[in-house]
Structures are given as C-alpha cells and as structure tokens.
Amino acid sequence: MTPVRTIVMSLGLATLTALVLNAVIALVAKRFDERGIGVGLASGEYLPLTLLGIVIGTVGWSLVARFTVRISRVVVPFSLVVSWVPDMLLFQSGATAANVIGLMLMHVVVAAAVVFALRSVKWRSARSPEGVSPVNEPVARQLPRGRLGGD
C-alpha cells in the first residue's frame, strides 16, 4: 500500500499545479473573450471550483479504483467528457468559444492533476488484497512453480 504521506504530498503538488495552470488558462481565455460573458473566468469562480474538482476527482478515483484497473483508460475520459456538457451549454447563454474552450481546458487540467497524483497509488481490493494500481495490472502474489492456485 502507498503511504498516506506520499499521497498527500502528490495531491498537494497536483493541486498547486492545477491552480496555477487554471489561472494561466483563465487569463488567456479572458484575453480572447472580449465581448463574451466570461463565465467561470474570474479567480473567485475557478479557484474554489479547481479545489472542489480535485477533491471530487480524488474521492471518485479512490472509490472506483478499488473495482477496476482501467480507471485511467475508461472512467477518466468518460468523466471528463461528461464534465464538458455544462460548458457546452454556456453557448446558449452567449458565451464565446474562448470562454467555453478555456473552461474545458480547466477541466482537463484538474483531471490530469488527479490522474498524475494518484496513478501509482495501490488501493485495497476484494479481488487483490495486496492492492490494485488503477494504471497497471493488479499486484499479484507470486505462486511457487508447479502449483496452481494453492493446490
């Protein structure tokens, strides 16, 4: 199992990185969003939501990683696409492409931060008591040669 201290440090670094990158994305998106409504591009909006996204992503990862080893190939992309739906709906409110693309990129940053922070964490699983790494295959015990399943 991965030590808690390592997980906390990885998540802390990932959170700081996501906050900085989202600030840069917001600045660039605002620059190109001259006549738009600028939804989500103010620091009072995206900074707390970045933190919330990291928390939700971490909780989701820890719950789902116990049951599947394909979290980074299936669940993360699906969740990311679903998170873009509200962004796309902003076009109906008068948001510009720069605004919407900026918000979508912010979601990518948060998802990537969670994946990079938690990709090597070994989670306890009913299938593999030694732990499961969602990016790699389950960590399995080595059986002695010539023996099948503990015969």
pLDDT, position 100: 97
Cβ–Cβ under 8 Å, residues 53 and 81? no
How far is it, in rounded angstroms, from Cα 31 to Cα 13?
27
Q: How far is CA 121 from CA 25, 94, 95, 148, in A?
A: 29, 42, 39, 29
Please give the model's pTM, rounded to 2 decimal places: 0.79
pLDDT, position 128: 56
pLDDT, position 131: 55
The CA-based angle 127-120-107, given to 5 degrees, is 105
Cβ–Cβ under 8 Å, residues 134 and 119? yes
Each domain of the chain, given as residue ranges in start order, spans: 4-118
pLDDT, position 143: 45
pLDDT, position 119: 87
pLDDT averaged over consecutive 10-residue blocks of the chain (151 residues)? 87 98 97 92 97 96 82 88 96 95 98 93 64 50 48 44
Place of tokens 């059986």: 143
* Among 110, 115, 132, 114, CA closest to 123: 132
